[in-house]
Amino acid sequence: MTKFTASLRTLLAGATIAAAPVAASAQEFINVLTGGTSGVYYPIGAALSTLYGEKIEGVQAQVQSTKASVENLNLLQQGRGELALALGDSVLFAWEGNEEAGFPAPLTKLRGIAAAYPNFIQIAASAESGITTLAELADKSLSVGAPKSGTELNTRAILGAAGMSYDNLGKVEYLPFAESVELQKNRQLDATLQSAGIGVASIKDLATSMPTTIVAIPADVAEALGAPYVAGVIPAGTYEGQTEDVPTVAVMNFFVTHEDVPEETAYQMTKLMFENLPTLVAAHAAARSISLDNALNGMPVPLHPGAERYYREAGLMQ
């Protein structure tokens, strides 16, 4: 054996030994499923991913951009994610197995972690389109969200409660938030409906780029929809040029996992979330609505035992 060969073997052996602890420490993986990068799910999910990676020993965490609620829930059922954000109506449809909503069979592996924050249905129309009311969407072009996304399910529900359908629209575009806004800025689209936390980045971008109208959704639409929808308000000043409060409807988001996630992992995910709420608020202001007091409100699926353990410790459950 030459001195070079012996040295190379020694070097490789040393590298293997040095790498071993790193490989051994990556015992578990947490994939946080979110939505488009211009929405609210993504920054909150990214903050949680960073938190889990830093605070849970032996865990490697990452955030994944998706088409949001419906895709997230299907991915959880397949074991391709450990935590997801999803709209409450989508979670309920998934648990029941609503085929029209994108769930051919009940997603029985889903388990709850916590209630998150409300999504507000926000319709942004270009001022030049002349759209100022829900009824004036008739014969206009509207982006309704990605196909069978939580936003698109919301769009169908909102139009239906207002006595309308896609047939009443001039054109329907099935696009995520950022792509919808780009079409509007290029004057190829009249309006976009986005289901997100207040102050969503895509509509902020639109409103600072061109005159924009935030279209009201009347309280009687919220009443017609019923649970899990409630009446809400987009406060004046949320977007450039929005000088008055705008009535709308809202629906709660939830943090969801699946039954195969270990109890200790789900416990740590829940505990760290509530012990680090300022970190989530720093990621997006919508996280201000996340609170321990409301964590169990309206949960559409059974709690994960790990989350339940945390809530018992926190005194929320007996």
pTM strictly above 0.75: yes
Residue 74's closest CA among 112, 30, 108? 108
The pLDDT tens digits for 181-208 are: 999 999 999 999 999 888 999 999 999 9
Q: Evaluate whether 191 touches 170 at the Cβ level (below 8 Å).
A: no
Residue found under tokens 């029209």: 100
pLDDT, tens digit (0-9, with 9 covering 90-100), for 146-176: 887 889 999 999 999 999 999 999 999 999 9
Q: Supply the mean pLDDT for the chain.
A: 91
Q: What is the CA radius of gyration of the chain?
A: 22
Q: Residue 39: what pLDDT? A: 87
Pick the residue with more confidence: 67 or 113? 113
What domains lie within the chain, and their CATH numbers? 26-116+253-313 (3.40.190.10), 119-251 (3.40.190.10)
The predicted-structure confidence for 25-42, as pLDDT tens digits, reads as follows: 447 999 999 998 988 999
Asked whether the predicted pLDDT for residue 9 surpasses 50, the reply is: no
Whether the per-residue pLDDT at 16 is higher than 60: the answer is: no
pLDDT in the model for residue 227? 78
C-alpha distances in Å from residue 141, one per residue of 1, 59, 214, 294? 75, 46, 15, 38
- Mention every residue, 6+ apart, whose C-beta is less than 8 A from residue 139: 168, 169, 170
* Rounded percentage of the chain residues whose pLDDT exceeds 90: 82
Reported as a pLDDT band with limits 50, 70 and 90, residue 15 is very low
- For the chain, the distance separating the N- and C-terminal CA atoms, rounded to the nearest angstrom, is 70
237 has pLDDT over 50: yes
Cα–Cα distance measured from residue 125 to residue 285, given in angstroms and rounded to the nearest whole number: 23
